Structure 1
């Protein structure tokens, strides 16, 4: 075969049928093919596998022997090997699914240097028998390359730490001249540094691709009967699509899968507690069938190559952004439109914080895990573009995507400082009054002035804070408390999740720090109005007049708000602009509430700049006075 046919581009075209490399693939392949070490960070669906498969083929054709691929999952090994063999590349795996005779046959092919790639899990690779085979290959110049897939598993800071990965540094000590490539889809700065240190990759060149997955729309909604919210999401947007629903517990996985089945949706459960044969059968069905929904814990997904997963939904809050990104990245691997949808609430925040606090880990680990959780909460509570926030976490600058929920329907934001001070004051009064703490339910009862048995028992109707929050509903107060915990002004402690003031609460209570919150909303109404509102707020950008305003308004305010939205729709259409570019809902709601009667007063509304005041001011006043 001529040398030209063995170039990386020729191999890419000949073996894989692609005309050109994407992004940094060409640089990575050239560097590794020439014998250099590399650390590759590339999003799911970005083509990581080609970064070691093409050099493996090129080096094997050049007489350098076998590439060893470290892989943590049997399913991934099976899929990769099947795909390579289908493409005419001789590959195999060694794992517990093989019978003795078959395993011995593959070992003979390995030792003979006939395999191009061999996949194996780290615990098998580090056995004396396997290391002895590698020694034999190396002595004969037939150990070509070591590829360590899912390299974040080596890091204790990562979301999928696997202790067996720690021993992989032995490979460098044992075979220092053999090039290595470590690959992962998710790693923040701490995790990246850990990978470099623990795998002895200090001299490796780092290739960091963009983490952006522009085909994925990110949506995070406030939890309110989560299963019903999920069902609406599936029926309204993903009827007949394949997708994954993640839950935190095994019990919830099984209950959710059974409930979806009862609602006529083809769904299967998957978690580590199921029999291995059941897991394999369910996974095989998901990979091979269309329109199947897999309800799973995070035990499912890493290495799943199904390209047409149209959605990933979370019914519970993940532990950190790395986990969230890794899991949502399993949607839309084919580049077509896909959804990352999550519902979360106050209980999620409390539970995640409690799990960190009660874990046996050291203080430094807990501190970092709290910081990672805080970053995820900031993403969930963000008022601005989800994608900008997500990419910023990984050190990547971007501009608003125009596709996530916050870009398509910008949320209203309100100055919640006064509500925050009321809630924090009430928690302080509890301690002052009786020396004990209470949970969210009782706090809300006191704030809203509800005469419950517990209120009477503790004589909390005598508190100065009793009833000072009657202007907000229970659901709205839950939103306020959730965000105060997310922002770190309040924390939930102990078995009963009682609320305590955090250090930053003092500055809020003194009025030194303002608190801006997403607008709390009442639970959606049931029935025809609710359905009309959901249709009106879908992807078609319709006005959605059944949607409640972003701030509590009286009847005249509601009428002004509706009139302003109708006016904005006309302006947006005339100027060929998205409606939110003209004014956000939050700005219209504040106009409707304040009803300014002059240009000077209108200029004081949040979101009204000089240019917009000049362009739209008199028209707005006309609408408000109509």
Structure 2
């Protein structure tokens, strides 16, 4: 080794870590800015969709900075999966939770104090223990990363009390930057995350919530089991998740599918820990194709090749729906999200909220479900509704949902939209759907008279239309991002900045006429890549063999997108192999030989 090389080693930079360790050639939009904020010691709030690259935002700076990065994660399975993938890349990562025996924990503690570990994953309950905090005080902490940060917020859909105490980390380690990350947070939840965690002037990155590779489809629920069987037969053994709202429904659906010959397993909290672990492991390793589950399944699943997520029942919130559907197509290849919707389910689900004792919390949950019900009944682009819900305004439809592919009839809704928007504005943006409809239709109620709203210029302006018509118009205006609901103020309707152009008649606004029945558009989910299908199948078989030998899920070796690129570019040298997305030096050394040999043999036969 030369003296110059020892004195002036190659500097470790975010880009060198990205390429050499993770095997990617460029950062996704916004990732580098978040990483640079962490490297400068600034707190941050990162909002990226599932599969959008949140983990790299803290994993890259963890490898650039000296010291330890501590990641707070809510689920054991999620920690195990993340650590397995990092270790496969040659990164010194460990986790400590209830599944780790005491003697194993002592070994990890010893390695921590010797500076041998770069990333440590812990549960919120563990990190807040006095003894554990004492240990951290004697370690060079470089960064705290709070994953699934929406769990900290009372407004979040998955509130967890222990997360609220994580602000203690800011008090104990005031100079250590904290990065909060989540895939699902509306405006109220975002504000609450910053406050609850005590983030100091955080750098906030809100990436696009759009997952263009996912097709959103809603089918009216007639004979759901027959519909489900028909759909699954079109999937040809692809990996998928079916969500049900109750354990009983999970067991019933899984049993009927198994009887029909599908490779399926059930998952819910009523099963033993061992049984749940077997299902989760079998699904991750492609030994089980379909999992029928309650929403208890999925947060810890990093499996990138889930080709469909199907909701057998309507979810309780758009946040939950978005997070659950986001488990499809994490590899960027085409996937589908399907929801079976029966309007009769609305009353049944609403009864669940009656048991919530905290009145404010109950109202929030009811309002969130109302937004989900509106989404299910909507006749406007599904993706526009989802993105606008998360304050990402989209004027143009997506072209990849059931509404876009099988559009309802349209009419020029500019005038009625102006009437509705004007009514919301003149009522001082303090009221919800029902009351605005009453004003528009000229209802003679004591509430309207007490508020003097019978004197408004918009009072009775739309009496020729039914209540259902106006309710549909208002819902569509919310879906189109022209109105928003403030869940902290009784779901009051408020105009957005985008409403100005409609009120000024700057463009003609098309709205949807009522549609009685949605039509599902079935299509091959696999992306139309120009690659060798036979070689791809061989590569998948080799990947499974190597993964089983290493006792890891196949995607820890390489994901489907990486294999597809191999089947397209057929690399046979080290330099060519390193040009494949997802291949770094560690994976080249560990797996390059057998994969390149297989490719050479395949090319020789052809």
* Residue 156 to residue 86, structure 1, CA distance change in 2 (3 Å): same
Q: Secondary structure at the match of 1:518?
A: coil
Among 166, 169, 174, the alignment partner of 2:167 is: 169
Residue 414 of structure 1: how far off its partner (Å): 10
1:126 equivalent in alignment to 2:79: no
Among 452, 468, 484, the alignment partner of 1:515 is: 468
Residue 41 of structure 1: how far off its partner (Å): 0.2
TM alignment of 1:428-443, pairs within 5 A = none
For residues 170-221 of structure 1, give each alpha carbon's deviation from its aligned partner in whole angstroms, at most 9, with x where no partner exists: 0001100001101001100111111111101141111000000000000011
TM alignment of 1:38-49, pairs within 5 A = 38-49=44-55
Residue 108 of structure 1: how far off its partner (Å): 0.9
How many angstroms apart in 1 are the aligned matches of 2:356 and 2:374? Answer: 23
1:387 equivalent in alignment to 2:393: no
Name 1:36's counterpart in structure 2.
42
8 A Cα contact 2:34 2:203, kept in partner? no
Rg (Cα) greater in structure: 1
1:150 equivalent in alignment to 2:148: yes
Q: Secondary structure at the match of 2:344?
A: helix
TM alignment of 1:158-197, pairs within 5 A = 158-197=156-195
Residue 366 of structure 1: how far off its partner (Å): 2.7
Q: Secondary structure at the match of 1:40?
A: strand
How many angstroms apart in 2 are the aligned matches of 1:321 and 1:37? Answer: 28
Among 367, 371, 374, the alignment partner of 1:371 is: 367
For residues 342-387 of structure 1, give each alpha carbon's deviation from its aligned partner in whole angstroms, at most 9, with x where no partner exists: 001123211222222442121x323322222222122111111110
Cα RMSD (Å): 2.6
How many angstroms apart in 2 are the aligned matches of 1:131 and 1:394? Answer: 35
Among 234, 257, 279, the alignment partner of 2:232 is: 234
8 A Cα contact 1:144 1:178, kept in partner? yes
Among 243, 246, 251, the alignment partner of 1:249 is: 246
TM alignment of 1:67-82, pairs within 5 A = 67-82=69-84
How many angstroms apart in 2 are the aligned matches of 1:412 and 1:256? Answer: 35
Residue 413 of structure 1: how far off its partner (Å): 7.4
How many angstroms apart in 2 are the aligned matches of 1:125 and 1:538? Answer: 47
TM alignment of 1:61-100, pairs within 5 A = 65-100=67-102
Name 1:199's counterpart in structure 2.
197
Among 111, 115, 120, the alignment partner of 2:117 is: 115
8 A Cα contact 1:247 1:315, kept in partner? yes
8 A Cα contact 2:314 2:345, kept in partner? yes
How many angstroms apart in 2 are the aligned matches of 1:414 and 1:352? Answer: 33
Q: TM-score with structure 2 length normalisation?
A: 0.68
TM alignment of 1:601-616, pairs within 5 A = none
Name 2:208's counterpart in structure 1.
210
TM alignment of 1:532-551, pairs within 5 A = 538-539=522-523
- Higher RCO structure, 1 or 2 (CA under 8 Å, sep 6+): 2
8 A Cα contact 2:265 2:288, kept in partner? no
Residue 90 of structure 1: how far off its partner (Å): 0.6
TM alignment of 1:457-606, pairs within 5 A = 511=464, 513-516=466-469, 518-521=514-517, 538-539=522-523
How many angstroms apart in 2 are the aligned matches of 1:488 and 1:227? Answer: 35
Q: Secondary structure at the match of 1:53?
A: helix
How many angstroms apart in 2 are the aligned matches of 1:202 and 1:135? Answer: 21
Name 2:269's counterpart in structure 1.
272
Among 4, 14, 17, the alignment partner of 1:11 is: 17
How many angstroms apart in 2 are the aligned matches of 1:4 and 1:203? Answer: 33
Q: Secondary structure at the match of 1:310?
A: strand
How many angstroms apart in 2 are the aligned matches of 1:29 and 1:343? Answer: 40
Name 1:289's counterpart in structure 2.
286
For residues 233-277 of structure 1, give each alpha carbon's deviation from its aligned partner in whole angstroms, at most 9, with x where no partner exists: 2113x2211000000011111111111101111111111121001
How many angstroms apart in 2 are the aligned matches of 1:158 and 1:230? Answer: 31
TM alignment of 1:397-408, pairs within 5 A = 397-398=393-394, 399-408=396-405
How many angstroms apart in 2 are the aligned matches of 1:413 and 1:239? Answer: 36
How many angstroms apart in 2 are the aligned matches of 1:131 and 1:274? Answer: 34
8 A Cα contact 1:39 1:183, kept in partner? yes
Residue 515 of structure 1: how far off its partner (Å): 2.6
Answer with 202-211 or 225-234: which moved more.
225-234
How many angstroms apart in 2 are the aligned matches of 1:101 and 1:88? Answer: 24
Q: TM-score with structure 1 length normalisation?
A: 0.66
Residue 304 of structure 1: how far off its partner (Å): 1.1
Q: Secondary structure at the match of 2:238?
A: coil
How many angstroms apart in 1 are the aligned matches of 2:460 and 2:321? Answer: 32
8 A Cα contact 2:282 2:288, kept in partner? no
Answer with 171-180 or 156-165: which moved more.
156-165
* Residue 251 to residue 414, structure 1, CA distance change in 2 (3 Å): farther
Residue 405 of structure 1: how far off its partner (Å): 0.3
Q: Secondary structure at the match of 2:65?
A: helix
How many angstroms apart in 2 are the aligned matches of 1:78 and 1:109? Answer: 18
Q: Secondary structure at the match of 2:297?
A: coil
8 A Cα contact 2:279 2:288, kept in partner? no
8 A Cα contact 1:218 1:339, kept in partner? yes
- Unaligned runs of 5+ residues in structure 2 are 1-5, 413-431, 436-444, 449-458, 470-512, 525-606
- Unaligned runs of 5+ residues in structure 1 are 416-485, 490-500, 525-532, 541-626
* Residue 295 to residue 414, structure 1, CA distance change in 2 (3 Å): farther
For residues 39-68 of structure 1, give each alpha carbon's deviation from its aligned partner in whole angstroms, at most 9, with x where no partner exists: 0000011111000000011112xxxx1111
How many angstroms apart in 1 are the aligned matches of 2:516 and 2:51? Answer: 36
Q: Secondary structure at the match of 1:81?
A: helix
Residue 510 of structure 1: how far off its partner (Å): 6.6
* Residue 510 to residue 20, structure 1, CA distance change in 2 (3 Å): closer
How many angstroms apart in 2 are the aligned matches of 1:411 and 1:289? Answer: 39
